[in-house]
Amino acid sequence: MNTPPPRPLLYLDVDGPLNPYAAKPHRRPEGYATFRMKPEGWIARHPGEPPGAVKPLRVWLNADHGPRLLALSEVYELVWATTWGVEANTFVSPVLGLPELPVVEWPAPHDAGDAGADGVFWKTRHLVAHAAGRPFAWVDDELGERDRLFVTVRHAGAALLRYVDPRLGLRGDDFRALEDFGQACARSGRRP
């Protein structure tokens, strides 16, 4: 009996792809609603302030992304790859109508936005190790050519690294690229 290969992983970042935080503060992107949230990670950025005094984080989320991501879960295993960690399940999943998703555990310490001496984004090495040769797609606003080269050289499986503009968030062309890659993986059984 042949066991089908595991579905490719879809690594989801929150800030940038799902929360277009870099849009102008007075111009929420179309389709997004404003949510005020106080995740522990946000509170920790305000040392010395009592948690009740910390102003909530403004997060823009698009409820239409939930059904589109759920549709992708037919082809992918969805995984949070965000500094929100498990709090993505607490704060973001319910708004989008997503189930609790597995979460990539990041080594400490890390500094969001930092690149190594070689210019590779700090998440890249960890996601290649996490995928362990399994095909994956990754949406993030910190991706660049050095990350793509690193993945090409160090990852045995197929990979799609999809840069998402943090002023716009995930858009139709991003979802189409993810659909195409996932379907190609399913057709080939491993590599598009």
What contacts 154, CB < 8 A, 6 or more positions away?
A: 125, 128
Closest to 61 (Cα-Cα) out of 16, 27, 100, 26: 16
Is 182 in a helix, a strand, or coil? helix
**Average pLDDT in the 141-157 region?**
96
The predicted structure's pLDDT at residue 110: 56
84 within a domain of the structure (yes/no)? yes
Given a contact cutoff of 8 angstroms between Cβ atoms, the answer to whether 146 and 119 are in contact is yes
38 within a domain of the structure (yes/no)? no
31 within a domain of the structure (yes/no)? no
Residue range(s) defining the domain that contains residue 128? 9-21+62-188
Choice between 105 and 191, residue whose per-residue pLDDT is larger: 105
28 within a domain of the structure (yes/no)? no
The predicted structure's pLDDT at residue 190: 47
The predicted structure's pLDDT at residue 91: 97
CA 4 – CA 1 distance, rounded (Å): 10
Q: At what angle do helices 122-131 and 145-154 cross, to 10 degrees?
A: 30
Dig out the tokens for 142 from the structure.
């910190």
The predicted structure's pLDDT at residue 177: 98
Given a contact cutoff of 8 angstroms between Cβ atoms, the answer to whether 147 and 170 are in contact is no
30 within a domain of the structure (yes/no)? no
The predicted structure's pLDDT at residue 79: 98
In 35-141, where does DSSP find H-type helix? Answer: 40-44, 65-72, 87, 93-96, 122-131
87 within a domain of the structure (yes/no)? yes
72 within a domain of the structure (yes/no)? yes
Number of domains in the chain: 1
Given a contact cutoff of 8 angstroms between Cβ atoms, the answer to whether 94 and 61 are in contact is no
Is 72 in a helix, a strand, or coil? helix
Q: Which of 23-37, 38-52, 105-119, 142-156 has the highest mean pLDDT?
A: 142-156
pTM given for the model: 0.91
pLDDT digit string (tens) for 83-127?
Answer: 999 999 999 999 999 999 999 999 875 554 455 667 899 999 999
Instruction: Give residue 140's pLDDT band: very low, low, confident or very high (50, 70, 90).
Output: very high
50 within a domain of the structure (yes/no)? no
**Average pLDDT in the 19-24 region?**
94
Q: Which domain CATH number covers 122?
A: 3.40.50
